């Protein structure tokens, strides 16, 4: 009797809420008659990636990478354009295009990537981060995953599309951009501001933004996380000023102490978990590969009484926590006390990296942080603000990516993903383009921690998988 009453009570609760449904549709696909032959292209892809890693393009020097890519395309008879902002000749962007076989009204597709990488200290790495060493079935080096590996996959896919003479119904652009790792000012932002005509007739972009995962969110799972939305950016410069003092007689209000108290309160502010409309589809897809009762809970994450049951697993996961919370991270600390331990600096500074869920505007959120700053006599100024953004889930590109990837790996699922970090997709969404992010490889938990960290590498098997999936997406879109 008790069980039946509980069930009836639960049914009455469910009736009050609109059911979440799967965002993935059954998209009909062509036969894989043009699937890329990896045996013919493996050595070519490996050489391209190792060569790219050896070009040290740490937050700059994109020109050398672009010239290398241009040399590959020109050997195949593909014309390229190198474009840089006046005054920044080494911050180069590269564009190459394949035209449709006959005039077409279909919107074009852009393969997007970026040429720069982040820093790497050789002393912290097992292998030289800029040597492109192949060892134990993996290519090691900075950019292997983010995102020179993607560039190599896209180059082979782009070339094979031309070589195989697949009839094109839409134009395809290969777009390598500068400066993505430092805010895209010399790359995507510059191109859209100064050369919007380049993107006339294009409606879709497939870029970085997420990865496939193996055995991460759910034991035994294989999930292709397709980025369709991004959190907003709020980067802040923080300063606390005051009189220099002696460490043996500290006041109650010296700058470093005020800054520390401020940062402590900000990090604890607004730590609530939110499963929004943008993440419900992701949790639904996890439910499709889970056992009851977890499957039921995940598929109905919009219901408050069930949503709370997910809070424990979310808090235990960095990735899940990042897509369900407004996060704050202290990304820099600096004082001017000199070399001694006995000086209280007159200036203490910090950098804050705040990432906001959809529905939170950066400048409004800044006002709340500035209210906290007033209590500690701390100055807070924005360094960069970008609002959250998203693309449609029912677009032909999103559904094609999902169908191609899951057909390639039986038993896998595709899930819409809101990425915690910003990519160049954000700027192209601002002009109405439908943009999605997926480097179609399968990474485990350890491999995910390599991003922007030491010992970054990619397996030869993942290089193969990603290249074949990307080529098949291009084939299906044409």
Select the more confidently predicted residue: 429 or 6. 429
Q: What is the pLDDT of residue 340?
A: 80
Q: What is the pLDDT of residue 317?
A: 85
Are residues 325 and 354 in contact, defined by beta-carbon separation less than 8 angstroms?
no
Q: What is the mean pLDDT of the chain?
A: 92
Confidence of residue 136 (pLDDT cuts 50, 70, 90): very high
Q: What is the pLDDT of residue 15?
A: 47
Q: What is the pLDDT of residue 6?
A: 52
Confidence of residue 5 (pLDDT cuts 50, 70, 90): low
Select the more confidently predicted residue: 36 or 421. 421
Confidence of residue 1 (pLDDT cuts 50, 70, 90): very low
Residues 282-330 pLDDT 10s = 999 999 999 899 899 999 888 888 889 998 888 988 888 999 999 999 9
What is the CATH number that goes with domain 232-268+326-386? Answer: 3.30.70.360
- Where exactly does CATH 3.30.70.360 map onto the chain? 232-268+326-386
Residue 443 has pLDDT above 70, yes or no: yes
Mean pLDDT of 42-67: 97
Q: Would the pTM of this model clear 0.85, i.e. be above it?
A: yes
Q: What is the pLDDT of residue 282?
A: 94
Q: What is the pLDDT of residue 253?
A: 86
Confidence of residue 26 (pLDDT cuts 50, 70, 90): confident
Confidence of residue 176 (pLDDT cuts 50, 70, 90): very high
Confidence of residue 20 (pLDDT cuts 50, 70, 90): confident
| 435 phi/psi in degrees, rounded to 5 | -120, 140
The token pair that represents 34 in the structure block: 């043009």
Q: How many Å apart are CA 452 and CA 146, to the nearest integer?
A: 8
- Where exactly does CATH 3.40.630.10 map onto the chain? 38-230+388-477
Select the more confidently predicted residue: 60 or 342. 60
Select the more confidently predicted residue: 363 or 38. 363
Residue 16 has pLDDT above 80, yes or no: no
How would you write 221-284 as a 3-class SS string? CEEEEEEEEECEEEEEEEEEECCCEECCCCCCCCHHHHHHHHHHHHHHCCCCCCCCHHHHHHHH
Residues 92-117 pLDDT 10s = 999 999 999 888 889 999 999 999 99
Contacts of 200 (CB under 8 A, 6+ apart): none
Cα atoms found within 13 Å of the Cα of residue 56, Cβ hemisphere only? 8
Q: What is the pLDDT of residue 40?
A: 85
Q: What is the pLDDT of residue 227?
A: 97
The token pair that represents 264 in the structure block: 């402590």
How far does Cα 344 stand from its chain's mean position? 40
Mean pLDDT of 341-368: 94
Residues 415-433 pLDDT 10s = 999 999 899 999 999 999 9
Q: What is the pLDDT of residue 10?
A: 52
Are residues 112 and 205 in contact, defined by beta-carbon separation less than 8 angstroms?
yes
Q: Which CATH code, of 3.40.630.10, 2.30.30.90, 3.30.300.30, 3.30.470.20, is assigned to 38-230+388-477?
A: 3.40.630.10
Q: What is the pLDDT of residue 2?
A: 40
Share of the chain above pLDDT 90, in %: 76
Confidence of residue 380 (pLDDT cuts 50, 70, 90): very high
| 191 phi/psi in degrees, rounded to 5 | -60, -45
Contacts of 15 (CB under 8 A, 6+ apart): none
């Amino acid at each position: 009797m008790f069980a039946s009453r509980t069930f009836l009570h639960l049914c009455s609760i469910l009736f009050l809420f609109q059911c979440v449904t799967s965002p993935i549709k059954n998209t009909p696909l062509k036969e894989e008659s043009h699937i890329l032959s990896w045996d013919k292209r493996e050595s070519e892809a490996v050489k391209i990636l190792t060569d790219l890693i050896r070009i040290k393009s740490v937050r700059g020097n994109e020109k050398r990478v672009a010239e290398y890519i241009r040399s590959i395309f020109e050997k195949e008879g593909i014309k390229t354009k190198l474009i840089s902002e006046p005054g920044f000749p080494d911050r180069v962007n590269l564009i190459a295009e394949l035209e449709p076989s006959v005039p077409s009204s279909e919107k074009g597709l852009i393969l997007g990537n970026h040429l720069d990488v982040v820093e790497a200290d050789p002393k912290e790495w097992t292998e030289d981060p800029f040597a492109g060493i192949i060892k134990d079935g993996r290519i090691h080096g900075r950019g292997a995953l983010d995102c020179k590996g993607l560039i190599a996959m896209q180059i082979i896919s782009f070339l094979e599309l031309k070589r195989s003479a697949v009839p094109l119904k839409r134009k395809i652009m290969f777009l390598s951009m500068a400066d993505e790792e430092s805010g895209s000012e010399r790359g995507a932002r510059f191109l859209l501001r100064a050369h919007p005509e380049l993107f006339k007739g294009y409606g879709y972009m497939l870029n970085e933004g997420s990865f496939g995962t193996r055995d991460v969110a759910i034991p035994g799972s294989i999930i292709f996380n397709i980025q369709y939305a991004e959190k907003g950016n709020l980067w802040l410069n923080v300063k606390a000023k005051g009189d220099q003092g002696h460490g043996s007689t500290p006041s109650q209000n010296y700058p470093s102490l005020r800054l520390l108290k401020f940062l402590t309160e900000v990090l604890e502010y607004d730590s609530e978990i939110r499963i929004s409309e943008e993440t419900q589809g992701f949790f639904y897809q996890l439910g499709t590969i889970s056992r009851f009762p977890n499957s039921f809970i995940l598929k109905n994450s919009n219901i408050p009484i069930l949503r709370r049951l997910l809070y424990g697993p979310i808090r235990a996961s960095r990735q899940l926590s990042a897509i369900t919370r407004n996060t704050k991270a202290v990304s820099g600390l600096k004082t001017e006390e000199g070399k001694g331990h006995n000086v209280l600096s007159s200036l203490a500074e910090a950098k804050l990296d705040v990432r906001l869920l959809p529905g939170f505007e950066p400048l409004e959120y800044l006002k709340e942080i500035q209210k906290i700053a007033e209590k500690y006599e701390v100055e807070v100024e924005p360094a960069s603000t970008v609002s959250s953004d998203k693309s449609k889930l029912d677009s032909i590109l999103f559904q094609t990516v999902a169908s191609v990837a899951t057909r390639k790996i039986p038993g896998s699922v595709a899930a819409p993903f809101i990425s915690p970090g910003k990519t160049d997709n954000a700027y192209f969404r601002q002009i109405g383009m439908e943009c999605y992010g997926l480097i179609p490889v399968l990474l485990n938990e350890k491999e995910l921690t390599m991003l922007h960290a030491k010992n970054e590498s990619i397996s030869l098997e993942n290089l193969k998988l990603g290249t074949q999936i990307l080529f098949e997406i291009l084939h299906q879109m044409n």
